[in-house]
Amino acid sequence: MGKGLIYATITLVQPRIVFMGSPKFAMPALVALASNYQVVGVVTQPDRPSGRGREITPPPIKILANDLGLPFIQPEKLHQPESKHQLQEWNPDLIIVAAFGQILRREVLDLPKFGCLNVHASLLPRWRGAAPIVAAIREGDTQTGVTIMRMDNGVDTGPVLSQRTEPIHADDTGGSLSQRLAQLGADLLIDTIPISLTGEITPLPQDETQATYAPMLKKADGWLDFALPAAKLARQVRAYNPWPGAFFDWRKQIIRVHRASAVEIEQRTAQPSGYHLVYQGEPAIQTSQDILVLEEIQSAGKNPMPGKVFLQGARAWLE
């Protein structure tokens, strides 16, 4: 990144910071901020139903804020009068956002004197949007990273302050990659804030011609379509672990796939996509290109199990 002017008149050592975030991905950033700066308030999503029992569950950032002794609010919408009033009371110099889950309006973006910075889990402008980690694995990227950007009215369209790369390993899941990027983003954030406050770094506009978008996931996105190539389905299994998970229907029950691999075959069988096979003692399914071997799966009401164990009790697999 290039360097801009250094504003010697800025003497602010401890800016008042408001943090906005919700899931586990945001936790390392809040821990790092609380250890290095004055966090005057936290904004997170409301408690929502979760799990099979649909029990009301607080977002991870609410639990963390409470543990750190930080004041927090959980507005349904950030533009509600009581939310706006609380933000004004906190009087932030800087707002930091990490996977918050709500769009910030102009009145919020303009509130802090040093603007709003976002910790985004991709190398922008690639994979703007709500699910960049999943998209990177699903589409076969070999590298991703984190970006600290200055927020504007668009969805992840603001100028970039800093970036740091991270390889995507062949066995990475959405969960494992998210953990690494969360910590990488926290570290980069702490490195970026000081030079952002003093003007030592020049925000660089994103190249709109290189932009791609990763929309928010739905539960139905985890459905495995065996008309797709096995290699893409195997990436989908990794990308959607732990949520929304990958699954298909067999004998009127949902089978969840926790681990799978694509195996090349020299000549496609005459069987249609979705046809059940056994490959080296493991269940497999014919796809439009090669076969998908199911290495770890979970049938309804059961615990996850190796594919070979599943076959022992699934005598109808080849029927």
- Tokens 């250094």 correspond to what residue? 6
pLDDT over 70 (residue 1): no
Between CA 177 and CA 134 the distance in angstroms is 9
Cβ of 289: how many Cβ atoms within 10 Å?
A: 17
Cis previous bond, 283, omega within 30: no
pLDDT confidence of residue 13: 63
Residue 36's H or E segment, with its range, is helix 27-36
pLDDT band at 126 (very low <50, low <70, confident <90, very high): very high
pLDDT band at 11 (very low <50, low <70, confident <90, very high): very low
Average confidence (pLDDT) over 137-148:
98
Condensed to tens digits (0 to 9), the pLDDT of residues 258-311 reads: 999 999 987 766 789 999 999 999 999 999 999 999 999 999 889 999 999 999
Q: pLDDT > 70: what percent of the chain?
A: 95
Q: Place domain 219-312 in its CATH homologous superfamily.
A: Formyl transferase, C-terminal domain (3.10.25.10)
Average confidence (pLDDT) over 160-188:
98
pLDDT over 60 (residue 255): yes
Q: 16-214 domain in CATH 3.50.50.60?
A: no
Number of H helices, E strands in the chain: 8, 17
The pLDDT mean for the chain works out to 94
With a CB cutoff of 8 Å and minimum separation 6, the contacts of 261 are 234, 292, 293, 295
Q: CA nearest 134: which of 263, 251, 235, 65? A: 235
Q: Compute CA 140 distance to the chain's CA centroid, rounded to the nearest angstrom.
A: 16
Contact 282, 257 (CB under 8 A): no
CATH 3.40.50.170 location in the chain:
16-214
Between CA 52 and CA 265 the distance in angstroms is 39
- 0.85 exceeded by pTM: yes
At 247 the three-state DSSP class reads: strand
CATH 3.10.25.10 location in the chain:
219-312
Please tell me what DSSP assigns to residue 184: H
CA angle 229/231/233 to nearest 5° reads 75
Condensed to tens digits (0 to 9), the pLDDT of residues 77-105 reads: 998 999 999 999 999 999 999 999 999 99
